[in-house]
A = this chain, B = another copy of it.
């Protein structure tokens, strides 16, 4: 059965993809893009290194624009990122009978709670799967045994998180993205061990 996995090239979305493949699902990785910057390229490369099919899902610029306005208004990224994530999951659910993402038991944002999952599955008549079975320690154990990783300072060309296009749009609007998204390190999957 076909599964669309929301994919960033990071360890969590790579792990859910591998779990579902090993369980016999026909996995396709999907990375969204809002037309601001080709930020899907790192994810595309990670997908290739793992041997998965990869699709770029073009989404309406207005969703990114609204999320960016929320983030500038809040001076804090969580609500805007959650807004994008829900729109993205809804969009992937139009194309696949099963939709998955790499959100974990310990994650706060972005994350669908149980009621949101039930609503999504009912509205779209799909199945939704994530990493809620696992805590961060178990995920760390699995990731380090399965994947080859890079660990670098995050920049616009080494990750495919929503953050890349959001930052560029914030900088176009008021140029303060580095206050809202502080510098951090980025782990990306580059193959199997």
**What's the nearest-Cβ distance from chain B to residue A161, in Å?**
21
A28-B23 Cα distance, complex, nearest whole Å = 19
Nearest Cβ on chain B to A62's Cβ, whole angstroms: 31
* Given A1-B141, A22-B23, A24-B142, also A128-B132 (CB < 8 A): no
B residues near A129, Cβ cutoff 8 Å: 133-135, 138
Which of A117, A127, A137, A138 has the largest count of B CB atoms less than 10 A from its CB? A138
Partner of A132, one of B23, B105, B146: B105
Is the beta-carbon distance between B127 and A138 smaller than 8 angstroms? yes
**A131: interface (CB < 8 Å):** yes
Q: Mark A124-156, 1 if CB is under 8 A from B, else 0.
A: 000111111111011001100110000000000
Check if A127 sits within 8 Å of B132, measured CB to CB.
no
CB of A34, distance to nearest CB on chain B (Å): 28
Residue pair A117, B105 in contact (C-beta under 8 Å): yes
- Is A184 in contact with chain B by the CB < 8 A criterion? no
- Distance between A103 CB and nearest chain B CB, rounded to angstroms: 10
Contacts of A133 in B (CB 8 A): 16, 129-134
Cα A78 to Cα B185 with chains together (Å): 46
Chain B residues positioned under 8 Å from A59 (CB to CB): none
Q: Is A32 an interface residue (CB 8 A)?
A: no
Cβ-based interface call for A82 (8 A)? no
Does A98 count as interface, using CB distance less than 8 angstroms?
A: yes
Q: Which chain B positions have C-beta within 8 A of A23?
A: 19, 22, 142, 146
Closest to A134 in B: B129
